[in-house]
Structure 1
């Protein structure tokens, strides 16, 4: 674990982590620790927060994307990544005039 101060607050760090998981596909715990200058417990908390976010985001969806730890390559990754783009498209298709609450 790196002991430098992170330039990200908690929400920024989780959003960035989520974004990297979508774009890169998989990250090891060490990579996440080094990227954000946080410890293992913080990584685990952030992953759990992202898991909860995905659960809430996909309520009622037949296909569910989730963050899993791949023991074979020892990295966290998103399942069904392509499905998330369908979910985002549905959210973005809402008329700007509609009252939408997350």
Structure 2
């Protein structure tokens, strides 16, 4: 498959993929490759970056929200999205010492 140059840089691509996954959409490797004009290795690196971000985000808590590969659907998806939104609420609360 011929690849066109992506209009996204690495960070933009990873953030876009994350936003797609968090919006309840599951994506196959082929869909990700076609959307961003990248190869399978890049997809693997991007998924690893999102997994690392989610683990860091849930530091100090049980990790419930993560990117998993659903073998039945043959797609990546994020588990326990509601838990993730609870984590975001804690991070953004005024009681958080890092809240601006």
Length-normalised TM-score, structure 1: 0.87
- Could you tell me how far apart the structure 1 residues matched to 2:42 and 2:78 are? 18
* Number of residue equivalences: 99
1:33-74 CA-partner distances (Å, limit 9, x unpaired): 111111100000000011111111001123521101000010
Aligned-pair Cα RMSD in Å:
1.8
> Counterpart in 2 of 1:92?
92
- Write the distance in 2 (CA, Å) between the matches of 1:54 and 1:63: 8
Aligned counterparts, 1:29-48, within 5 A: 29-48=29-48
Q: TM-score, normalised by structure 2?
A: 0.89
Gaps of 5+ in 2: none
Instruction: Specify every segment of 5 or more residues in structure 1 that has no aligned partner in the other structure, as ranges.
Output: none
Find the residue that maps to 1:24 and give its secondary structure: coil
Say if 1:9 and 1:26 are closer, same or farther in 2 by CA, change over 3 A: same
